[in-house]
């Protein structure tokens, strides 16, 4: 029940975010004097509406977004009534049109910043001093209850599974392993690699406990695991000692801040998130085969893109497991991604309209300098084939991610 409520709550937050995006366009357009005739939450048949001044506000039956109608967005639009010609959007200075078209993304960025600031003061933000790859951390261990012999990432310990060899040999949580049979171990990644390169059976483990060096004789178990670096590879017999990774004593994964310090932490985290978002967007094309694989019976890569369906499911999981930091992080990441994505210089995205406005401005300046007549406004009709192509590509990608999120969803809790 908690998971269903979490899914609904996250979906509602997405709807609110999109509606505020459109409200950003509307507010800035009205501020400059442009004529706004409609503002609706949802699509399809109208459920309820009212008119205030020259604008109709309302709610439609399909809660999958929203829209705002600004008169005369392009010179080819025929929705300008007699007497309103001067209020057509395309007649306004390019900087004002840029403000209006970018206001939606600005709202998403603002929502992400406010949520990050609130998270910094309550649940905390991720400790940026920790490496991105957990395998690079020092080899502090947490003793497992058992070792699962067969390769099954989703399976937990069951009666009859062999006990952890490390636990049986007397190792404890927070011990730091430094060597295996004399082979130095610096990181947890070293520990995994070295353990798998020695045959099953007794080995001498050097470790530190409370800063004091110790040794133990551990009888490594034989287990089935895929090759390192190839999770989809065929399992083979390797050694395991029945330990997991734990952070060095006193290390926190999340750090909380006061109101003032949270501002700086928010800026730092936002810069980090911006870099990661741009990097993820660049890698979209190479992730398409992995998405298709997940639809045809393959394992779903957790690094593949997700749709709003997948994000809502993960939000529901987070609520069900009281992982509110994950819930908020999903909300922050989604708003940041939508804000950046919407600024791409492609029609029909807002960034495409902004790019055309500045192209027209630059072209007019250049033509004036060389003494040629201003060619006027860009003919959007000539750009329709390109626009339809972008819609088709993005639509197909959206359907692919939605299908993957339904058939083979990403899950953070097994």
- pLDDT tens for each residue of 109-153: 999 999 999 999 999 998 888 887 888 899 999 999 888 888 877
Residue 222, in any domain of the structure = yes
Give yes or no: residues 340 and 220 share one domain.
no
Residue where one domain finishes, among candidates 197, 217, 245:
245
Phi then psi for residue 220, to 5 deg, are -60, 140
Mean pLDDT, all residues of the chain: 89
The DSSP code sequence of 256-313 is: ---HHHHHHHHHHHHHHHHHHHHHHHHTHHHHHHHHHHHHTTPPPPTTS---HHHHHH
Check whether 381 has a pLDDT greater than 70: yes
- Which residue is catalytic, options 22, 145, 286, 360? 22
Amino acid 181: pLDDT: 92
CA-CA distance, 319 to 322, in Å (whole number)?
A: 5
2 within domain boundaries: no
Q: What DSSP element (H or E) covers 78?
A: none
Q: Specify whether 241 is located in the same domain as 324.
A: no
167 and 307: one domain?
no
Q: Model confidence over 173-209: pLDDT tens digits?
A: 999 999 999 999 999 999 999 999 899 999 999 999 9
22 has catalytic annotation: yes
Tell whether 173 and 263 lie within a shared domain: no
Q: Which residues pair with 294 in a beta bridge?
A: none
Domain check: are 212 and 266 in the same one? no
**Region of poorest pLDDT, from 119-123, 269-273, 284-288:** 284-288
Is the C-alpha dihedral spanning 105, 109, 110, 112 positive or negative?
Answer: positive
Task: Answer yes or no: do 260 and 402 share one domain.
Answer: yes
Q: Quick check: is 235 in a domain?
A: yes
How large is the average pLDDT for residues 401-408?
85
Query: Look-up: residue for tokens 């639509």?
Result: 395
On whether residue 21 sits in a domain, the answer given is no
355 and 310 within one domain: yes
Q: Identify the DSSP state of 187.
A: B
Q: Domain range spanning residue 317?
A: 91-129+256-414
Q: Note whether residue 84 is domain-resident.
A: no
The pLDDT value given to residue 392: 92
The pLDDT value given to residue 323: 87
Ranking 102-116, 299-313, 375-389, 391-405 by mean pLDDT, the lowest is: 299-313
- Choose the final residue of a domain: 190, 224, 245: 245
> Residue 15: helix, strand or coil by DSSP?
helix
What's the predicted TM-score (pTM) here? 0.83
Q: Is 45 contained in some domain?
A: no
Contacts of 237 (CB under 8 A, 6+ apart): 200, 222, 223, 224
With cut-offs at 50, 70 and 90, classify the pLDDT of residue 344. very high
Residues 401, 302 within the same domain:
yes
- Overall average pLDDT of the 274-280 stretch: 86
107 forms beta bridges with none
50's tokens: 């009212």
Q: Is 44 part of a structural domain of the chain?
A: no
Residues with Cβ < 8 Å from 121, sequence gap 6 or more?
A: 256, 257, 258, 259, 262
Q: How confident is the model at residue 232 (pLDDT cuts 50, 70, 90)?
A: low
**Same domain for 267 and 118:** yes
Q: The tokens 């330990």 sit on which residue?
A: 243
* 289 and 198 assigned to the same domain: no
In a domain, 58, yes or no: no
What pLDDT score does 300 carry? 80
Domain match, 310 and 391 both: yes
Question: pLDDT category, 250, cuts 50, 70, 90?
Answer: confident
Task: Output the domain CATH number for residue 190.
Answer: 2.30.42.10
Please say which residue of 218, 245, 272 terminates a domain: 245
- pLDDT for position 203: 93
- Sheet of strand 176-180, all strands in order from the earlier edge strand to the far edge: 183-184, 176-180, 201-209, 212-225, 236-240
How large is the average pLDDT for residues 59-70? 89
Are residue 305 and residue 414 in the same domain, yes or no?
yes
Percent of the chain with pLDDT over 90: 49
User: For 82-87, which contacts have Cβ atoms below 8 Å and span 24 or more sequence positions?
Assistant: 84/35, 87/33, 87/34, 87/35
DSSP SS3 for 3? helix
Q: What percent of the chain has pLDDT over 70?
A: 98
Q: Which range scores top for mean pLDDT: 195-209, 290-304, 373-387?
A: 195-209
Please count the structural domains in the chain: 2
């Amino acid at each position: 029940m908690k998971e269903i409520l979490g899914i609904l709550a996250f979906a509602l937050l997405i709807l609110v975010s999109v509606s505020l995006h459109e409200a950003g366009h509307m507010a800035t357009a009205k501020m400059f004097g442009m004529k706004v005739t409609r503002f609706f939450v949802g699509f399809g048949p109208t459920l309820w509406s009212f008119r205030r001044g020259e604008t109709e506000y309302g709610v439609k039956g399909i809660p999958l977004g929203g829209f705002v109608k600004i008169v005369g967005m392009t010179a080819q639009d025929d929705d300008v009534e007699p007497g309103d010609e001067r209020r057509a959007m395309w007649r306004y200075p390019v900087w004002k049109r840029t403000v209006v078209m970018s206001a939606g993304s600005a709202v998403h960025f603002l929502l992400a910043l406010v949520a990050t600031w609130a998270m910094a003061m309550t649940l905390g933000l991720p400790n940026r001093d920790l490496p991105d790859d957990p395998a690079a951390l020092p080899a502090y261990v947490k003793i497992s209850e058992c070792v699962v012999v067969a390769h099954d990432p989703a399976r937990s310990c069951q009666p009859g599974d062999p006990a952890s060899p490390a636990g049986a040999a007397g190792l404890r949580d927070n011990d730091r392993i430094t060597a295996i049979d004399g082979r130095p171990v610096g990181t947890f990644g070293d520990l995994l690699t070295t353990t798998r390169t020695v045959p099953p059976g007794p080995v001498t483990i050097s470790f530190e406990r409370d800063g004091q060096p110790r040794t133990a004789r551990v009888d490594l178990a034989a287990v089935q695991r895929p090759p390192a670096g190839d999770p989809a590879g065929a399992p083979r017999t390797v050694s395991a000692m029945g330990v997991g990774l734990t952070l060095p004593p006193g290390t926190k994964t999340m750090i909380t801040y006061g109101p003032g310090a949270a501002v700086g932490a928010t800026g730092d985290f936002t810069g980090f998130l911006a870099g990661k978002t741009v990097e993820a967007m660049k890698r979209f094309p190479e992730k398409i085969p992995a998405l298709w694989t997940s639809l045809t019976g393959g394992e779903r890569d957790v690094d593949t893109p997700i749709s709003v369906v997948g994000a809502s499911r993960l939000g529901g999981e987070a609520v069900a497991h009281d992982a509110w930091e994950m819930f908020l992080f999903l909300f922050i990441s989604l708003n940041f991604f939508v804000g950046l994505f919407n600024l791409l210089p492609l029609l029909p995205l807002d960034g495409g309209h902004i790019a055309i406005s500045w192209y027209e401005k630059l072209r007019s300046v250049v033509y004036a300098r060389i003494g040629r007549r201003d060619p006027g406004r860009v003919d959007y009709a000539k750009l329709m084939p390109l626009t339809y192509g972008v819609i088709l590509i993005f639509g197909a990608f959206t359907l692919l991610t939605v299908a993957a999120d339904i058939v083979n969803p990403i899950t953070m809790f097994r």
